[in-house]
């Protein structure tokens, strides 16, 4: 069922994030993560050995990211299957072809995300459409990069979430982007808020989750953080944390999940580089 006024949540988002940032535990976690990010930046530039090690890590990261983002949406591809699919020479016979195309799309879309962030592209409707177009490779061409048409009411399975009316999608996205651009909240909380509200709007006929996670990483990269993997879990903790924010107005659980992921990735980078430097003869 569509929500005729999702703009109410969007308009309240900045104040909600600022209030969360003032909480002691959240503020401390943000300071800890930013200290890790600053530490990582002091390690640059990397030498040739470190660059190769980071490239290996990023390849493994992409497999994990693709597997988890696909699995959250119901894919039956295993982590090993996903690795082989991304190598380009494997099509599992016991999984639907759409999951193979979806995996390829996630990997290709992430390449665009990294390039757009590197180029300093602005988050806007055009970029959102383009990321969906290249990510949702399992959809029919007419549905890629195209917002839900009038009358198409999206339903998020097994949740109480009501998505935006198709006629309000453009206005809601513009309000969300403009509101966060003008917000003084911490970039990590703004990234979390964008993701939660983007999924609430649910602008496309399908592929919103995968696209939303791509856009989340675009925002993180744009603010100097490493991209993250949100892990699939059978208990649907990720989906339930989003629902708690979208329906009950409780951002704490999802923000905590995202901060955990960001801290893990920032620490992994510093541990990798510092470990190489410590072990040199």
Q: Which residues are annotated as a binding site for ATP?
A: 206-213
For the chain, report the end-to-end CA distance as a whole number of angstroms.
63
Binding-site entries: 206-213
The number of beta carbons lying within 10 Å of the beta carbon of residue 204 is 26
**Nearest residue to 176 (alpha-carbon basis) of 254, 124, 244, 224:** 124
Could you confirm whether 41 is annotated as catalytic?
A: no
Q: How far is CA 85 from CA 57, 119, 208, in A?
A: 18, 28, 22
DSSP 147: B
Sign of CA dihedral 82, 87, 88, 89: negative
Q: What's the CA gap between 209 and 174, in Å, rounded? A: 19
Name residues whose C-beta falls within 8 Å of residue 90's C-beta, 6 or more positions apart in sequence. 81, 84
Q: What's the CA gap between 242 and 249, in Å, rounded? A: 10
**Nearest residue to 58 (alpha-carbon basis) of 135, 110, 125:** 110
| Candidates 132, 186, 195, 202; catalytic one | 202
**Nearest residue to 203 (alpha-carbon basis) of 181, 235, 177, 179:** 177
Q: What's the CA gap between 149 and 205, in Å, rounded? A: 8
Q: State the residue for tokens 């002691």.
A: 24
Which residues have a catalytic role annotated?
202
């Amino acid at each position: 069922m569509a929500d005729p006024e999702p703009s109410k949540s969007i308009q309240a988002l900045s104040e909600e994030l600022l209030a969360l940032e003032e909480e002691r535990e959240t503020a401390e976690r943000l300071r800890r993560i930013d200290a890790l990010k600053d530490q990582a930046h002091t390690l640059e530039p990397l030498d040739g050995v470190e660059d190769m090690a980071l490239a290996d890590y990023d390849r493994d990261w992409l497999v994990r990211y693709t597997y988890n983002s696909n699995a959250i949406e119901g894919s039956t591809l295993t982590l090993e299957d996903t690795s082989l699919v991304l190598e380009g020479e494997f099509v599992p016979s016991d999984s639907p072809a759409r999951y193979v195309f979806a995996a390829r799309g996630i990997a290709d879309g992430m390449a665009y995300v990294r390039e757009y962030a590197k180029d300093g592209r602005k988050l806007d409707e055009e970029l959102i459409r383009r990321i969906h177009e290249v990510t949702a490779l399992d959809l029919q061409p007419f549905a890629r990069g195209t917002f839900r048409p009038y009358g198409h009411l999206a339903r998020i399975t097994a949740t109480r979430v009501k998505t935006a009316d198709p006629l309000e999608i453009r206005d809601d996205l513009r309000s969300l982007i403009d509101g966060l651009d003008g917000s003084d909240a911490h970039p990590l909380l703004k990234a979390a808020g964008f993701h939660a509200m983007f999924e609430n709007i649910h602008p496309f006929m399908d592929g919103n989750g995968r696209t939303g996670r791509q856009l989340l990483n675009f925002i993180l990269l744009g603010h100097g953080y490493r991209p993250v993997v949100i892990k699939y879990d059978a208990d649907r903790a990720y989906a339930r944390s989003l629902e708690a924010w979208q329906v009950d107005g409780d951002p704490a659980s999802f923000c905590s999940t995202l901060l955990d992921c960001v801290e893990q990735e920032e620490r992994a980078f510093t541990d990798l580089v510092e470990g190489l430097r410590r072990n040199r003869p």
